A and B are shown apart, each in its own frame.
Chain A
Amino acid sequence: MAVQLDAPLAPQRRSFATAFLRGALVPLLAILTALLVGAIIIWFSAPADRGTRFEVVVAAYRGLFLGAFGGRQAIANTLVEATPYILAGLAVAVAFKCGLFNIGAEGQLFLGALAAATVGASQLGLPAIIHLPLALLAGALAGGIWAAIPGYLRARTGAHEVITTIMLNYIAFRLLDYLVTGPLKDPGASALRTPFVASAAQLPRFIGPLEDPGLTGGQTYRPLIVTADPEWNLRLHLGFAIAILAVWGIWWLLNRTTTGFEIRTVGANPEAARYAGMSITKNFVVAMALSGALAGLAGSGQVLGVEHNVKSLFSSGYGFDSIAIALLAKSNPIAIIPAAVFWGALNNGRGLMQAQTGISIELIRIVQALTIMFVAADQIVRWIYRIRRPIGDQVVFSRGWGK
């Protein structure tokens, strides 16, 4: 698997376009290959009453595209879908950079969401400028602490993070279930969910009408620009801007700071890092905490910007999708954005695809799974398209289970 060991500390004199093409070629081919295989599946499962098989394939992908990008609403929804993926994908990517495989983004995301919801729903009487950051911080902190545990265990006892993060996922799900159905349940609601967050703690939409308070917990979730025009009733919220900001922040941290240099060095060659005086324990904990904080932020964004409360459920799929996005972006923070948007587009466009062709939306899950396979096992794509592998672009995760 190729985790690009990004730009050197000092700026390298190479044209941006070449660098981009070089990095993006294999992921793009992987997506293409997955879509081709998807087309074959559609070909064989095409309903008889929708024209020729070829027409169905074209109509399906046309529907997928229009559902994702056909119009202002569709694009806004795609970006809303992409927002948690950007942050969660970034979370996995940061851990990758340190040579750690955070499979537990999902648990961290859930706990982050729960913490944000708890702080967000508290009647603190604070202004939005304080209450909202506080809620976001709570989410990041919860995710960060939860993820720091496997980082520490890996460094000090050698317990592999792939198993410990999964175990912590299961524990987090049970904890969430207990809290949402018990102590943190909205006493006034019949559904098993936490109370709605205060309006001072919401991530406002950029533009739209005032929400009907009757649909919420009594709060008014006011967008930044209020308009009555239904054409401009967009779900896109401030969380998207925060996600973009986080991408820039992580890129800067990784490539322009000593902390980032240490994280990347520990990821590239932990022994050399140790010999150069870096602390492996510290960097494992920092990288995992950072990763968990980003995952927690992803969960907070969903709660404060979209859901406005947390329900008891066991799987959202974010954890696994975030791995896919990090792999697709080859852990490059900037590339996380297009990768997450692609993912969001698939999720957002599949409804129209089904409506227009009768192809099950579950097909998209298979296309996504195939994309992951072709990206992760990029040797296959390189083999199909005869592309050489550049020197030294691999990070190794399989270090066995012990120290």
Chain B
Amino acid sequence: MQNTISQPQLQAGANVPRGVSRARIVGIIGVVVAALLISAVVLRVDATKFSTLNIPQPGAPPNQPLARIPLPTVATVIVLQGLLGLVGLYIALRQRMQWITLYVSTMIGLAFFTILLWAVAGSSVDLVDVLARVVRLATPITLGALAGLICERSGVVNIAIEGTMLFGACIGFIVAMVSGSTTLGVLAAMLTGSLVSALHAVLSVNFKVDQIISGTVINLLAVGVTGYLRGSFIIGYEQRNGADITAQALPVLRIPGLSQIPVLGPIFFSHQPITYIMLILVFAINLLLFRTVWGLRTRAIGEHPKAADTVGIQVNRMRFWNVVASGLISGLAGAWFSLESTFRFDDVMTNGRGFIALAAMIFGKWTPLGAFGGALLFSSADALQIKIQGFNFGLPRQFLQMLPYLVTLVVLAGIIGRARPPAAVGQPYEKG
């Protein structure tokens, strides 16, 4: 007797949409955000006011900009957020899963832009400066994300990025301060980073300590040791030798020619050295990871270490050195805090950027370019809150300061279900 199931049922089953509720939730959130922002702006801003965006001419004084774009604040917000809301409605109704990542990024980006317009209503803002700041502030986050990505692609969770950065910032600063050479300080920060990462590697790869625990231990050590060094050495040294400290923050290097290009010049080619290195590393690591033997093997040991082992790749040795190498990058990110953005070392000055970097890595689905995108998203929250603190704006400063963390939280909760980490991440590899 033959009970073959008939064909139409196959068709019915094959068209099942995936992740039904997530698309709906994201779409609805988009609509709500749009509605909130529109009503806030309509209620709080005089409809006759304009928000002026200035595009400066590189090299020219700020009062002779390349362009001044006056936008009617309320109308612009209504149009932009209205469009966003409509797209959100469409996503919610048609459940377009594949649009979610793009939509969430756009939603956040536009929300920032709206807040910027709101803040400068009746005034003007240098838009290029804001964007250049976004790139600059993305530096430590991107570097941290790249370091995290190298570790995780190799199968090692590294939540010690934060602590590694802090160590790098502290030691780098001390070396620069004492030696008088900021470059030497940067190199010291990188070396410190790799040593701290080596500790994480020893603990998690060799001793097989749970990687989250090992990372936490390093974060704790970092707070303790750098606090000790600052309290018992840095402050005293600064007081004793205040006048003799010749080193200063890394200089801005305007790339001849390129930095003169309007808009793009200031955004990409008028930065300090670590920011340039960050931009280069994004592409370099992308190439390394996806085109070279090292990259192929790294992806293999993070995904299926046993498979790599059986073809003669020494999994734990490679993991160890990859984690150590990632420390060079985390250390460089640390140097950004104490040697590039300012010339100073403060207690816990990394302020959670190491964790935000991991969120950027997840957002970017463990690819360098994606991680850079994620970092830009988070740094724009930072840039925004710094920029609009100067304007007389309704929200208390503390709420603006929350923005990067809030965005991280929302993005993590919203996007993560779609991202698939390397399969073996977090699991120590043992032969046999």
A and B touch in the complex (CB under 8 A): yes
B358 at the interface (CB under 8 A from A): yes
The answer to whether residues A402 and B416 also contact, given A166-B355, A167-B408, A376-B217 and a CB cut-off of 8 A, is yes
A398 touches B416 (CB 8 A): no
Give 9 nearest A-B pairs by CB, closest first: A398-B426, A178-B398, A379-B207, A369-B224, A397-B212, A362-B228, A159-B412, A174-B398, A365-B224
In the assembled complex, the Cα of A157 lies from the Cα of B211 at a distance in Å of 22
Residue in A157, A170, A368 whose beta carbon sits within 8 Å of that of B224 in the complex: A368
**Chain A, Cβ-Cβ closest to B424:** A400
Residue in A360, A365, A377, A399 whose beta carbon sits within 8 Å of that of B217 in the complex: A377
- What is the CB-to-nearest-CB distance from A67 to chain B, in angstroms, rounded to a whole number? 19
- What is the CB-to-nearest-CB distance from B345 to chain A, in angstroms, rounded to a whole number? 15
A369 touches B209 (CB 8 A): no
A101 touches B355 (CB 8 A): no
In the assembled complex, the Cα of A389 lies from the Cα of B146 at a distance in Å of 35
In the assembled complex, the Cα of A396 lies from the Cα of B348 at a distance in Å of 28
B227 touches A103 (CB 8 A): no
B209 touches A399 (CB 8 A): no
B225 touches A369 (CB 8 A): yes
**Chain A, Cβ-Cβ closest to B223:** A320
In the assembled complex, the Cα of A169 lies from the Cα of B224 at a distance in Å of 18
Residue in B208, B213, B398, B421 whose beta carbon sits within 8 Å of that of A397 in the complex: B213
Note all chain B residues with C-beta closer than 8 A to A174. Answer: 398-399, 401-402, 405
Note all chain A residues with C-beta closer than 8 A to B224. Answer: 365-366, 368-369
A398 touches B409 (CB 8 A): no
Note all chain A residues with C-beta closer than 8 A to B211. Answer: 398
Note all chain B residues with C-beta closer than 8 A to A401. Answer: 358, 362, 416, 419, 421, 425
A353 at the interface (CB under 8 A from B): no
Note all chain B residues with C-beta closer than 8 A to A272. Answer: none
Note all chain B residues with C-beta closer than 8 A to A362. Answer: 227-228, 231-232
The answer to whether residues A1 and B409 also contact, given A366-B224, A366-B228 and a CB cut-off of 8 A, is no
B352 touches A162 (CB 8 A): no
Which among A162, A171, A376, A401 has the highest number of chain B CB atoms within 10 Å?
A401
A163 at the interface (CB under 8 A from B): yes
B194 at the interface (CB under 8 A from A): no
- What is the CB-to-nearest-CB distance from B304 to chain A, in angstroms, rounded to a whole number? 14
Interface size classification for chain B: 35 or more
A170 touches B405 (CB 8 A): yes
Which among A164, A169, A373, A398 has the highest number of chain B CB atoms within 10 Å?
A398
Residue in B159, B209, B356, B422 whose beta carbon sits within 8 Å of that of A376 in the complex: B209
**Chain B, Cβ-Cβ closest to A365:** B224
B427 at the interface (CB under 8 A from A): yes
Residue in B203, B210, B220 whose beta carbon sits within 8 Å of that of A398 in the complex: B210
B216 touches A171 (CB 8 A): no
**Chain B, Cβ-Cβ closest to A181:** B398
- What is the CB-to-nearest-CB distance from B350 to chain A, in angstroms, rounded to a whole number? 12
- What is the CB-to-nearest-CB distance from A356 to chain B, in angstroms, rounded to a whole number? 18
- What is the CB-to-nearest-CB distance from A143 to chain B, in angstroms, rounded to a whole number? 18
Note all chain B residues with C-beta closer than 8 A to A1. Answer: 209-210, 213
28 inter-chain pairs at a CB distance below 8 angstroms, sorted by A residue, are A153-B409, A158-B416, A162-B159, A163-B408, A163-B412, A167-B355, A167-B412, A169-B352, A174-B402, A315-B347, A360-B232, A365-B227, A365-B228, A369-B221, A372-B217, A372-B220, A377-B209, A379-B203, A379-B208, A380-B207, A398-B425, A399-B426, A400-B426, A401-B425, A402-B416, A402-B420, A402-B421, A403-B417
Which chain A residues numbered 134 to 173 have a C-beta less than 8 Å away from chain B?
153, 157-160, 162-164, 166-171
A175 touches B228 (CB 8 A): no
B398 touches A398 (CB 8 A): no
Residue in B210, B213, B413 whose beta carbon sits within 8 Å of that of A153 in the complex: B413
In the assembled complex, the Cα of A75 lies from the Cα of B40 at a distance in Å of 57
Which among A159, A320, A380, A383 has the highest number of chain B CB atoms within 10 Å?
A159
Note all chain A residues with C-beta closer than 8 A to B203. Answer: 377, 379-380
In the assembled complex, the Cα of A320 lies from the Cα of B223 at a distance in Å of 9
B322 at the interface (CB under 8 A from A): no
Note all chain A residues with C-beta closer than 8 A to B412. Answer: 153, 157, 159-160, 163-164, 167
In the assembled complex, the Cα of A174 lies from the Cα of B399 at a distance in Å of 7
B406 at the interface (CB under 8 A from A): yes
- What is the CB-to-nearest-CB distance from B405 to chain A, in angstroms, rounded to a whole number? 4
- What is the CB-to-nearest-CB distance from A285 to chain B, in angstroms, rounded to a whole number? 14
Known: A158-B416, A366-B225. 13 other contacts (CB 8 A): A159-B412, A162-B212, A167-B352, A167-B412, A178-B398, A320-B220, A360-B228, A360-B232, A366-B228, A369-B220, A379-B203, A397-B213, A401-B425
- Is chain A's binding surface mostly helix, strand, loop or mixed? helix
**Chain A, Cβ-Cβ closest to B423:** A400
Which chain B residues numbered 319 to 354 have a C-beta less than 8 Å away from chain A?
347-348, 351-352
Residues of B whose CB lies within 8 Å of any CB of A are 157, 159, 203, 207-214, 216-217, 219-221, 223-225, 227-228, 231-232, 347-348, 351-352, 355-356, 358-359, 362, 396, 398-399, 401-402, 405-406, 408-409, 412-414, 416-417, 419-422, 425-427
Which chain A residues numbered 166 to 209 have a C-beta less than 8 Å away from chain B?
166-171, 174-175, 177-178, 182
In the assembled complex, the Cα of A189 lies from the Cα of B413 at a distance in Å of 41
Residue in A103, A170, A365, A368 whose beta carbon sits within 8 Å of that of B216 in the complex: A103
B214 touches A377 (CB 8 A): yes
Note all chain A residues with C-beta closer than 8 A to B157. Answer: 398, 400
**Chain B, Cβ-Cβ closest to A403:** B417
In the assembled complex, the Cα of A401 lies from the Cα of B212 at a distance in Å of 11
A328 at the interface (CB under 8 A from B): no
Note all chain A residues with C-beta closer than 8 A to B227. Answer: 362, 365
In the assembled complex, the Cα of A340 lies from the Cα of B419 at a distance in Å of 40
Residue in A164, A178, A376, A383 whose beta carbon sits within 8 Å of that of B214 in the complex: A376
A121 at the interface (CB under 8 A from B): no
B398 touches A170 (CB 8 A): no
A341 at the interface (CB under 8 A from B): no
Note all chain B residues with C-beta closer than 8 A to A317. Answer: 223
A394 at the interface (CB under 8 A from B): yes
A158 touches B417 (CB 8 A): yes
Which chain A residues numbered 309 to 359 have a C-beta less than 8 Å away from chain B?
315, 317, 320, 323-324, 327
Note all chain B residues with C-beta closer than 8 A to A182. Answer: 396
Residue in B159, B207, B401, B416 whose beta carbon sits within 8 Å of that of A377 in the complex: B207
In the assembled complex, the Cα of A175 lies from the Cα of B398 at a distance in Å of 7
B416 touches A171 (CB 8 A): no
- What is the CB-to-nearest-CB distance from A181 to chain B, in angstroms, rounded to a whole number? 8
Note all chain A residues with C-beta closer than 8 A to B348. Answer: 315
- What is the CB-to-nearest-CB distance from B40 to chain A, in angstroms, rounded to a whole number? 19
- What is the CB-to-nearest-CB distance from B412 to chain A, in angstroms, rounded to a whole number? 4
In the assembled complex, the Cα of A379 lies from the Cα of B217 at a distance in Å of 14
Which chain A residues numbered 374 to 395 have a C-beta less than 8 Å away from chain B?
376-377, 379-380, 383, 394
A157 touches B355 (CB 8 A): no
- What is the CB-to-nearest-CB distance from B385 to chain A, in angstroms, rounded to a whole number? 10
Residue in B208, B225, B401, B413 whose beta carbon sits within 8 Å of that of A159 in the complex: B413
Note all chain B residues with C-beta closer than 8 A to A369. Answer: 220-221, 224-225
**Chain A, Cβ-Cβ closest to B411:** A159
In the assembled complex, the Cα of A175 lies from the Cα of B402 at a distance in Å of 8
The answer to whether residues A377 and B413 also contact, given A369-B220, A372-B220, A400-B157 and a CB cut-off of 8 A, is no
Note all chain A residues with C-beta closer than 8 A to B416. Answer: 157-159, 401-403
**Chain A, Cβ-Cβ closest to B156:** A398
Note all chain B residues with C-beta closer than 8 A to A327. Answer: 213
